[in-house]
Structures are given as C-alpha cells and as structure tokens.
Amino acid sequence: MTRTWQITTVDDAARARIAAARIAAAHGVPMVERTRLVTDLSAQLRQCLLKGGGWRLTVTALPTSEPHRVRLTLTLGAEANEADGGPSWRASVDTAGPGRGADGRPEDVPARVPRNRAALADALLSADEDASRLLDELAEQERLVAFHREELHQTNQGVLALHAELDAAGRIQRELFDAERRARTEAENARRGLTFLADASAALTASLNVEEILGHLPRLLVPDYAESVDVWLFAPEDRARGHVVRPAAAVAAARTGRPHYAADRPGRLPGVEDLPPSVLHPGQPLLCVPLASRHTPVGVVTLTPSREGWSADDAVMLVELARRAGVAIDHAQRFEHNRDIAETLQRALLTDLPATPGLSLAARYLPATHGLNIGGDWYDAFRQPDGGLVAVMGDVTGHGLHAAVMMSQLRTALRAYAVDGGTPGRLLTRLHAFLHHLQPDLYATAVIARFHPDEPEVTWAAAGHPPPVLRAPDGEVRVLDARPGAMLGIPLHQEIRDHTALIPPGSTLALYTDGLVERRREGIDPGIRRLAEALSAERAVDLDRDLEGAADRILHPMLRDSQRDDDVCLLLVHLDGADTVDDPGRTYA
C-alpha cells in the first residue's frame, strides 16, 4: 500500500498529518510510538511550510520477512529534489500487519480527509487525543512509579529492620557460641584435672613404701603443675639430723594445717592464705600445702610455679592431691611400723639351728613381698634324747598374728612330743590330733626328717607338704614323693606313715615351703624341678665347706624376678663327707 499527498499550504500539511495518524492507528501502531511518529512528522511539516515550495508525503506499508509483520514508512521530500532521488526525511515503524481504516475499510482504500476548513480544524484538534491519552497514561505510570517507590521504601525499611534483627541474632548466637566454647573448655579442663587426680591417687595409694610415695610426687607434678617440688616430712629421723631452715609459709602450713602462698602479690587462690614473699626465696612464689592425714599433717609439700602460675582450679586440685598424698604416707608409715613389729616377732619365733657332729644345717626365711610380713611358715631343728636330729618344715594356712601364734603353738607341741621319742610319722599323727581339737577351722602342712648318727638312712614323713629333695654325693637328685598324709587339722582320722631313704656321707636334704616353688601361672611341679636343678648344680666340696653360701646360691635363681605373695622357707641338712669329691662314676651302697 502506498499513499501520497501534495503539500503546499497549511491545509495540505494538516490533511497529510491527519491521514498519516489515521493510517498508523489503523495498522495497530502502539500509541506511544504513534504519537512519537506523528509529532516528528508535524515538526518536519512545520519546517517545510517555513521553507515554502511544494512537498510530497508518501506513506507505504509493505510486508517484512517475518510473517504477519508490516513495515510502515513515511517519506517527506521536496518536489524540486525528486530528480536527485533523495528524501528530506524518512521514518519507519513495524506493525503487527495490515490494519483497517478509521471508516472500517481496508487500508488500501484512501482515507477520507475533510476538505472544508471547519471540519479540517476539528479533525486537526481531535488529533491531539492521542497525546492527551498518552499524558493520562504517563500520569498513571507516574502514580504506579510512586506507589512502587513507596513499596520499595517500605521493603527497604523492612530489609533494614530484618538486617538489624539478623545482626542482633548473630551477635547473640556468637555470644552463645563463645559461652559454649568457654563451658566446653572449662569442662575439658575439669575432666583433665579429675583424670590427673584419679591417676595420681592410684599411683600414690598403690605403694605402702614411704620413699616410693615421696618419689611419685615430683614425677606427677613437674613440669605441668610445678617447676620444683620439696617435701618436708615430719619424721623422727628429720629431727635427728638437726634443725633445717624452712620458709615461713611452710612453717605456717605445718602449724595451722592450712595452705599458704608466699609472693610479692596476693595469689587470691581459693582456700589458700596469702603471705609476703619468703625471705629465703624473695623472688620466687611459693605454694606450701600440708600433707594432711586423718588427725594431723604428716608433712608439707612446697611448690614453685611453672610458667604463669596456678589457676583457682589448679589450687583446688593441688590441695586435694596433697591431702590424698598425706593419707597415703600415713598409711605407709603405719604399715611399715606394723611390718617391723611383725618381722621382729616372726624372727623371734624362729630358733637357732643346733650344732650336731657330722651334720651341717643352713636355713633361710624370707617374708612375702606383699602384705604384712608375718605368716605361718616355720622351720625348726632339735635333738632328741637318743641323739637323733629332727628337722621340721611347716606352714600354717593364712597370714597375720593368728597364724603366727598357731605356728608357735604347733612348734612347741612338736618339741614336747619329740621328747618322748617317736618317729616322724608318729609325731605328725599326734600333731594332727592336737591341731584338730585346738583349732578345728585351722589347717597346716608339715614335713619331718629324722637323722641318727648310727643309721645310714633318713626317716621322713609328710602331711600335705611339698616333698623333700635329696641330693646324692655324686650330684644325682631325686624327689622323695612317697605317698604323704593329708593336711594337719582336717576333720579326718589318719595315721601318717614313715618313709626311709639311704643317705651316704656327702648327701644333702632340702626341706622347703610352697612359697619357694609355687607360682600362680605354672603350679608347683616346675618349681620343684628348678629346685632340684639348683641343688644338683652345687659341687659336693662347696656343700661340705660352705652350706650357708649354697643356700643363698640356691635361693637366688629360684626367686629371680618374683613378686612373692607367700613366705619362703628353706632348710638344708648336709651329711659331712670329708673325703667326698665330684666323681660322677662313684656309687654308694
């Protein structure tokens, strides 16, 4: 479609403007673009009228490459310039397709434009309706913009308020995290302190030796809790060595039984009294804590700080550790005192061995390494009126004073029975009846060997006791394991039998208690074999000349690396053999 208008007067320009506006509206050009197009055209027409002459406006509507799209083009040029082929002004706009005119006819029918001036003026004035509607739409858009601006402002205020709330929530959350971290740190420190205190308490109470306990304290506290540790133990041996100068804080702790801290500034530790710096150590803070027992302190431990010093939790833990160490030391001192009494009593109950022509005797008694060192093990040797020698090894069940008293009574009863004579089996039978009636709930084991200078044999009997071990002069060893009697004191009538074995000169008989040969993990038989091997390894000449040394040499390999839970007794009886030599080929009748 193409339309052309000749323009020479104002009326021609108005008609051309009106026609162009109607064609653009008929083709569906949006109002904003249509208004912009018509406004630009009006400006160009105004310039043309000012210049004068003839002008031509051409409006074309041609389809584009896109389906259902039309390009509307307005061309304005002077008629005098047509020969040059160049328009003065051109404008184009794409539309949705061919439209319809204002009168409803297709756009290929020329639009009617009024010819009289009154109708033309009315049409021209009505052409500003698009501008008016555009202004209305712009006003509505401004109201929408203002509305959205207010909404945006309210949204911004809400966002700012939300940011403030989030910031406050974040700050609270950080404070909670910090508090939780501090609580976790405090709990971890408390856990470490309690674990240390439990481990330290176990180490202190595991021993009943005062020196071991005192040695544990520096190893436990240095370097984590102290740089140095000094223990002042109230003991008689300290007073015997003379007066020792102590810091005033240590003396105050000993006198009052309360911890004291001496430094150039107060420590403000819980339960600890502050004092001025020590004159003996003016530049060194000192924490002096009494080693408390059940009644009075047994000593004072003086600590110097490592690194920055002690916290309140450290002070509480150190005071509690000192209290537990004091209790452990007090228990160890009491135990050592009772042990000394027990050992004195035990050794007082062991008799001296008699001197017998032709016989040598050596005995060893070792108390248990654990517990109160007093028990029911005993050895004895005495002569009978007929010149015979009786060697005894016994063991009363249990430990303590009661077992020691019963052991003493059994030993006394056995000696009384032996005065009337009697073989080892007969003596054990009478001892069994005595114990059963005297102490029905107490039992004992024993072995008795009788030597007589006129007899070339040894007579022996056992009641529930490990068998004797006999070494021949040539070094051959055998265990005298003939059937023994039952334990002494059991509720059973028994007649214990005698047994005999030849003993040439140079023979050695070993009597012992189960503490020498029995071990929990392996029983008693391997221990008896080790004893036999140790006895066989001794030379005959050494047994003749130094039976005491032989007893020590036999005990040493038997007790190596052994924590004994029971007493150990060993009695060696050796028949002198002046002419005895180590000759494996020699035999004895």
Read off the DSSP letter of residue 356. Answer: B
Looking at per-residue confidence, does 295 or 390 come out higher? 390
pLDDT reported for residue 379: 92
Q: Which amino acid is at 3?
A: R
Angle subtended at Cα 222 by Cα 216 and Cα 225, rounded to the nearest 5 degrees: 110
Strands (E) in 407-517, as ranges, are 444-451, 457-463, 469-471, 477-479, 499-502, 508-512
pLDDT digits (tens, 9 = 90+) for 349-373: 677 889 888 899 999 988 775 555 5
The percentage of residues in the chain with a pLDDT greater than 70, rounded to a whole number, is 85
Q: For the residues 249-265, what does the mean pLDDT come to? A: 90
Q: Where does the pLDDT of residue 264 fall: very low under 50, low under 70, confident under 90, or very high at 90 and above?
A: confident
Q: Where does the pLDDT of residue 341 fall: very low under 50, low under 70, confident under 90, or very high at 90 and above?
A: confident
CA separation for the pair 397, 377 (Å, rounded): 9
pLDDT digits (tens, 9 = 90+) for 20-48: 888 888 888 888 888 888 888 888 888 88
pLDDT reported for residue 476: 94
pLDDT reported for residue 390: 95
pLDDT reading at 216 higher than 90: no
Domains and CATH numbers, the chain: 2-127 (3.30.565), 207-344 (3.30.450.40), 350-575 (3.60.40.10)
Q: How much is the pTM?
A: 0.52
pLDDT digits (tens, 9 = 90+) for 421-430: 889 999 999 9
Looking at per-residue confidence, does 84 or 244 come out higher? 244
Highest mean pLDDT among 389-403, 417-431, 571-585: 417-431
Q: In 27-116, which ranges are continuous DSSP H helix?
A: 31-51
pLDDT reading at 548 higher than 90: yes
Looking at per-residue confidence, does 94 or 429 come out higher? 429
Looking at per-residue confidence, does 273 or 139 come out higher? 273
pLDDT reported for residue 113: 61
pLDDT reading at 187 higher than 90: no
Strands 568-575 and 359-366, by their bridges, are: antiparallel
Q: In which residue are the tokens 């490592």 written?
A: 306
Q: What residues contact residue 299 under an 8 Å CB cut-off, 6+ apart?
A: 231, 232, 233, 234, 254, 290, 291, 326, 329
pLDDT reported for residue 581: 40
Q: Give exposure, 110-120, as e/b (b: 16+ Cβ within 10 Å).
A: ebebbeeeeeb
